[in-house]
Structure 1
Amino acid sequence: MVQGHQARKRFGQNFLSDNHYIQRIVESVAAQADDRLVEIGPGLGAITEHLVNKVAELHVVELDRDLIPRLEQKFAGRDNFTIHHSDALKFDFGKLAGNEQIRVVGNLPYNISTPLIFHLLNQRQSIKDMYFMLQKEVVERICAQPGTSAYGRLSVMTQYYCQADMLFLVPPGAFQPPPKVESAIVRLQPYKTLPNPVKDQKLLNQIVTAAFGQRRKTLRNSLKNFIDEAGLEQLGIKPTERAEQLSLAQFVDICRKVEENQAD
């Protein structure tokens, strides 16, 4: 229990309480006076109270209705502070951007972290950068390189849209209640211009999803509904390779080849 509030398991609540790590996160974000900042899951406002003093606008998105009055009371009189009682998975972040891109910060519940990241990537035109506290394993998957066990769909699709960097680890003891896993801070910076664009991003996602759907399958089997062995070989890709051996650029090559074949 923290300050009279029982952390709720169904919301995946673990409240950051260690000032050292709170300060490191605030310093990493390096909020500027003219920033329009959005915090997902502010909890009891441990990070919020530092950010609200630095920016022109701070919006917080909180699902737990019991926390809303606490936040309203804590930040009463702050005209740059707005609470949105909403599920972040359904929230339209673009509406907060207007003509200015938003910056996003969040201690994301472990149980919704992956779908929430994809939800935000779908709104990336409105987002300058994102700083998230996630389960360490999730951050490792986001930042993973080909040939590693952590490398998968989350790695490929996040890195297609963003520069992804793990910043530092946060131990369980920094939270109340302590989670059973180690956490890490990741920075995601959506590219203004995609370095390896495809025409059909949904098709790329379908190809990557199929390739990693059954990791032990070779590409000749996992991608047979998209491209044949000859097509893979034309791209310099061995049909006997598995998904984790392919780089993002090679997945893009496959997608472009499929697009060409569909256009013929």
Structure 2
Amino acid sequence: MTAVPNAGSNGSAGCLAVDRSSFFAPKRSLGQNFLSDPNICRRIVASLELAPGDPVLEIGPGRGALTRILAGHDGPVMALEKDSELVSWIKSEFPSVGVVHADGLDFCWEGTRRLPGLSLIGNLPYNVASPMIWEMVSRCRSFRSMLFMVQKEVALRLTASEGSRTYGALSAWVGNFVRGEYVFTVPPHVFRPQPKVDSAIVRFLPRPDPAWDDAAALSWTVKILFQQRRKQLGTILKAHWSGAVEAWCADLGVDRRIRPEELSPDALRSLARVLVPSK
């Protein structure tokens, strides 16, 4: 497990332009697309709505487009980066920023509880954004807000409501831990290299009743249901149907012919408790 380091504050924001003398070629294996537009960077950081003294953790700082702004924040600033070359550069370029050399997919997100009111921000690689967000929303226990840039298609799934075309297992899972908001669309031309699709900013605020105690049962339930999302509930759960499930349907007024995409995150949580009762 990786601990979150202490970090200084009051760093200088400096110039937003990329320093070509410290240029790092994007690594396709890491899904790197670096931000290059100062206006978009300022808008992203402003959307996080940091207050003086708030701790902030940037996920995947890359060439430091957002880090240059965050380094001027009056509060602890940290960065989590997988690329060892970029870790060394960030440490030298932004000495006030505490840097963790780690993979976000393996990071001990539970450790962030030592920083109450933490905000998380980042331009997440397309190839790991969904699994990383799956882990972060369910394992970060004391955060204030999260603001991430992801592929637009993923952003729509993350913020979808039941009954919509984009609602699925990821939507239902995330919706049980946070309240998601689609903030704005980001065009390809603000990146180097330019992706072939639009990106988008999503913001998450914690739910007052996150599904921490039901996480294992909920994970099993949404995965088994949405693997066959076009089938009816009764068909998918034929091998698991019981009097308890029948009573759940009656209590919620759910027809067994309903499809998973029509069930809200809260309904899926209550179904999970019936399907996988705690021992």
In the superposition, the TM-score normalised over structure 1's length comes to 0.89
Determine the structure 1 residue equivalent to 2:190: 174
Specify the SS of the correspondent of 1:66: helix
Q: Does 1:188 align with 2:207?
A: no
**Aligned to 1:115, which of 127, 131, 134?**
131
Determine the structure 2 residue equivalent to 1:14: 33
Runs of 4+ in 1 over 4 A off after TM superposition: none
Q: Does 1:37 align with 2:56?
A: yes
CA contact (8 A) 2:34 2:63 kept: yes
Determine the structure 1 residue equivalent to 2:264: 247
Specify the SS of the correspondent of 1:5: coil
In structure 1, stretches of 5+ residues that fail to align are: none
Determine the structure 2 residue equivalent to 1:221: 235
CA contact (8 A) 1:139 1:186 kept: yes
2: CA distance, partners of 1:126 / 1:225: 38
Determine the structure 2 residue equivalent to 1:53: 72
Determine the structure 2 residue equivalent to 1:5: 24
Tell me how far 1:2 sits from its aligned partner.
Answer: 8.1
Tell me how far 1:238 sits from its aligned partner.
Answer: 1.4
Residues 52-85 of structure 1: per-residue CA shift (max 9 Å, x gap):
1113211101111121222122113x2xx11111
**Aligned to 1:139, which of 155, 169, 177?**
155
Give the aligned residue type for 2:261.
E
Per the alignment, do residues 159 and 115 of structure 1 end up closer, same or farther by CA in structure 2, a change over 3 Å counting?
A: same
In the superposition, the TM-score normalised over structure 2's length comes to 0.85
Determine the structure 2 residue equivalent to 1:104: 120
CA contact (8 A) 2:151 2:199 kept: yes
CA contact (8 A) 1:198 1:255 kept: no
Name the Cα RMSD after superposition.
Answer: 2.2
Per the alignment, do residues 199 and 62 of structure 1 end up closer, same or farther by CA in structure 2, a change over 3 Å counting?
A: closer
Identity %: 33
Specify the SS of the correspondent of 2:176: helix
Determine the structure 1 residue equivalent to 2:45: 26
Determine the structure 1 residue equivalent to 2:254: 237
Give the aligned residue type for 2:253.
G
Residues 31-64 of structure 1: per-residue CA shift (max 9 Å, x gap):
2221111001001111111111113211101111
In structure 2, stretches of 5+ residues that fail to align are: 1-17
Specify the SS of the correspondent of 1:125: coil
Give the aligned residue type for 1:87.
D
Q: Does 1:209 align with 2:223?
A: yes
Tell me how far 1:176 sits from its aligned partner.
Answer: 0.7
Tell me how far 1:96 sits from its aligned partner.
Answer: 4.5
Specify the SS of the correspondent of 1:131: strand
CA contact (8 A) 2:34 2:191 kept: yes
Specify the SS of the correspondent of 1:22: helix
2: CA distance, partners of 1:21 / 1:99: 28
1: CA distance, partners of 2:29 / 2:216: 31
Give the aligned residue type for 1:253.
S
Determine the structure 1 residue equivalent to 2:8: none
Specify the SS of the correspondent of 2:240: coil
